[in-house]
Amino acid sequence: MAKKLKVGVIGAGMIANHAHIPGYLSIPDECEIKWLCDIKPDVLKEVGTKYSISNLTADYRDLLNDPEIDAVSVATPNLEHMQMTVDALKAGKHVLCEKPLSMNADQSKAMCRAAKDSGKILQVGLQYRFCGPGLFMKEYIDKGHMGDVYYGRAQALRRRGVPGWGVFTNKEKQGGGPLIDIGVHILDFTLFLMGYPKPVSASGKTWDILGKNPNLTNFMGDFDRDKFTVEDMAVGFIRFEDGQVVTLESSFMANIEQEFFKTTLMGTKSGAEVCPGFSNDPIVIFSERDKQVFNERPVNIPDIKSSHVKEVQEFVATIQEGGKSKVPGEHGLILNAIFDALYKSTETGVEEKIDLSY
């Protein structure tokens, strides 16, 4: 039997409570949470008591200095990801870092270098790969049923969905708005299904008009319009090395009929619309046989109760088995590099090259 891992969780906010902590607690024979860290004393005490975590601290270095700790989750605001992750890797700990990997590509490159130098696993918290529709479609595509997938359309669109908590509207602490918050999920999901092709350039445009308008309602709590410094909508056109193209749409606020969180894939043998989130109609496959065209809905999609829990379980299993992460830091770097190019393109008005070297 593999060694039982001892882990630490840095950050005791919503994502730690919803994903990381339940994930570790779901496999008590494989791991245990020894440390919990948060800079808010009341939150730290409350969450530590709730989950019976004995070692509590406001300084993440305390758990990194514990020689018994094998791995850590970094579940903090984006601004803190890079330093905490690099410090953890240098301390010899495996790291599961929440998405996005960091604020920008330069930071992600530093994190990937630290992972390479340490020989430890750096996994990015992109859980939708582990949802039922994702697992089904990945197998379907890998078996060749779609042929060559040459185009993807990734959409993460909210009508009135600015998070009214945390630092989601603060660019200095978050790095961006819907593009880097929810766009990261649907773009990763799309690239995952396409085999993660290498991007070479991107052009894009962002807007911040609706998010700053105090006369508009918001379904996810109120926020200070005067301190709204991120985009409320972003669109992008991304080119890849082998000729594929992906278009991306992401919004916190947009005047649309309904929200979208889906990817549309077009291949030489078939196409598909896939909704990795909550949907009663998660997969539709578009095919043709004998000059007859079909819209097909699979009925044997894997039943995954929580993709958040599944990603943590995969992280632990990867450490114990000594394999490579299914969501490596390099994929987080690719996403950040694409976002950098899109943000730069909205300023320059031209297509921008993407550099992934580190």
CB 260 within 8 A of CB 157: yes
Torsion 61-38-19-163 (CA) sign = negative
Could you list the pLDDT tens digit for every one of the 358 residues in the chain? 578 999 999 999 999 999 999 999 999 999 999 999 999 999 999 999 999 999 999 999 999 999 999 999 999 999 999 999 999 999 999 999 999 999 999 999 999 999 999 999 999 999 999 999 999 999 999 999 999 999 999 999 999 999 999 899 999 999 999 999 999 999 999 999 999 999 999 999 999 999 999 999 999 999 999 999 999 999 999 999 999 999 999 999 999 999 999 999 999 999 999 999 888 899 999 999 999 999 999 999 999 999 999 999 999 999 999 989 999 999 999 999 999 999 999 999 999 999 999 9
52 and 38 in a single domain? The answer is yes
Residue carrying the six token digits 């969501």? 327
- Neighbour-count burial for 211-236, b at 16+ CB within 10 Å, e otherwise: bbeeeeebeeeebebeebbbbbbbbb
Which residues have a Cβ under 8 Å from the Cβ of 79 and sit 6 or more positions away? Answer: 103, 167, 172, 173, 174, 175
99 and 151 in a single domain? The answer is no
Question: Which CATH number goes with the domain that contains 197?
Answer: 3.30.360.10
Which residues have a Cβ under 8 Å from the Cβ of 215 and sit 6 or more positions away? Answer: none
3-state secondary structure of 61: helix
In a domain, 346, yes or no: no
Which residues have a Cβ under 8 Å from the Cβ of 91 and sit 6 or more positions away? Answer: 64, 65
150 and 87 in a single domain? The answer is no
pLDDT on residue 1:
54
In a domain, 34, yes or no: yes
**Closest listed residue to residue 156, CA positions, set 217, 218, 233, 227:** 233
Upper half-sphere CA count for residue 9 (Cβ side, 13 Å): 28
Which residues have a Cβ under 8 Å from the Cβ of 68 and sit 6 or more positions away? Answer: 6, 34
161 and 117 in a single domain? The answer is no
**Closest listed residue to residue 302, CA positions, set 143, 135, 122:** 135
265 and 160 in a single domain? The answer is yes
3-state secondary structure of 350: coil
* Cβ neighbourhood burial of 288 (10 Å; 0-12, 13-18, 19+): exposed
141 and 281 in a single domain? The answer is yes
CA 57 – CA 93 distance, rounded (Å) = 18
* Cβ neighbourhood burial of 125 (10 Å; 0-12, 13-18, 19+): buried
Paired strand residues for 267 = 149
**Closest listed residue to residue 180, CA positions, set 144, 197, 204, 149:** 204
In a domain, 197, yes or no: yes
139 and 206 in a single domain? The answer is yes
Question: Which CATH number goes with the domain that contains 322?
Answer: 3.40.50.720
Total domains in the fold of the chain: 2
In a domain, 341, yes or no: no
User: How does strand 94-98 pair with strand 122-125?
Assistant: parallel
177 and 213 in a single domain? The answer is yes
Would you state the torsion angle of the CA atoms of residues 36, 39, 43, 46, taken in this order, to the nearest 10 degrees?
40
In a domain, 333, yes or no: no
pLDDT on residue 246:
98
153 and 195 in a single domain? The answer is yes
Residue carrying the six token digits 């052009």? 203
Cα 48 from chain centroid? 26
Which domain range does residue 202 map to? 132-303
82 and 124 in a single domain? The answer is yes
pTM > 0.95: yes or no: yes
Cα 161 from chain centroid? 18
**Closest listed residue to residue 121, CA positions, set 63, 70, 196, 189:** 70
142 and 97 in a single domain? The answer is no
In a domain, 357, yes or no: no
192 and 290 in a single domain? The answer is yes
CA 320 – CA 24 distance, rounded (Å) = 14
pLDDT on residue 3:
86
CB 245 within 8 A of CB 150: yes
